[in-house]
Amino acid sequence: MNGLQIPVSRADTTARPRRLSDVFQCELRGRRLYLATCLDDYMNANALRVRSMICHECPQGANNRENFAADADSEGLLDAEIWGRLIADLGDEK
């Protein structure tokens, strides 16, 4: 690895991640991940049915996705972050 450390965005690491920039402990990988990375990998592994990926049918990834979607839908707190991420991703494709 290149020695980069993932910053802790919250003091309470036991709470469920809510924002794309939140960091949590991935049980299957045994390391800390951004929620954005988890959701990307989980969705790619399952949408493309890549069974060789550790994220395929991951219960923690499914739970993170469900919680993230419920928060975004019911509270509207993540709209700016979601749109910002989508716009950034679209800019990267050029």
On whether the CB atoms of residues 58 and 28 are closer than 8 A, the answer is yes
Q: Enumerate the β-bridge partners of residue 23.
A: 34
pLDDT at 18: 85
CA–CA dist 84, 87 (Å, integer): 5
> Where residue 1 falls among pLDDT bands split at 50, 70, 90?
very low
Buried b (16+ CB within 10 A) or exposed e, 61-91: beebbeebeebbeeeeebeeeeeebeeeeee
Percent of the chain predicted with pLDDT > 90: 48
On whether the CB atoms of residues 20 and 35 are closer than 8 A, the answer is yes
> Per-residue pLDDT tens for 44-81?
999 999 999 999 999 999 999 998 888 766 655 556 77
pLDDT at 79: 66
